[in-house]
Amino acid sequence: MNYSIAFGWIDYDISRAPEWDRAQIHRLGRHLGYRLVWPDERSVLRVADQARNARADLVILPAPDHLSPLELNAVMDVTDIETVAPRLSFARWAFAKVGP
């Protein structure tokens, strides 16, 4: 079976229950039909760069506040975003060529 890749992301400075968040991200990823990958804990790359390097189609977050607004915008250049609670979807930015 060929699954698309989802990148799980938890900001441990914000999460009050990281094990619970991780389980909920796994559940949502499985429900949506994605194979979940996690970041290298030692990585200093931005989330957008890590998701791009993982060739992820989707980033799954426990909640929108796990990314800053600027990082959320950067990730949306690369992938779609899904959040567990509240259940939200953010589509990646689409670029259209304007002109004749």
The confidence score (pLDDT) of residue 35 equals: 98
66 or 42, greater pLDDT = 66
Q: Which residues form the domain of 50?
A: 4-90
- 60-96: per-residue pLDDT in tens? 999 999 999 999 999 999 999 999 999 999 999 877 6
71: in domain = yes
pLDDT digits (tens, 9 = 90+) for 28-39: 999 999 999 999
Residue 50 has pLDDT above 70, yes or no: yes
How far apart CA 70 and CA 99 sit, in angstroms, is 29
- For residue 100, being part of any structural domain is answered with no
Domain count, the chain: 1
User: Is residue 10, in this structure, part of any structural domain at all?
Assistant: yes
Q: Quick check: is 98 in a domain?
A: no
CATH for 8: 3.40.50.1390
In a domain, 81, yes or no: yes
Closest CA to 36 of 23, 51, 26, 46: 26
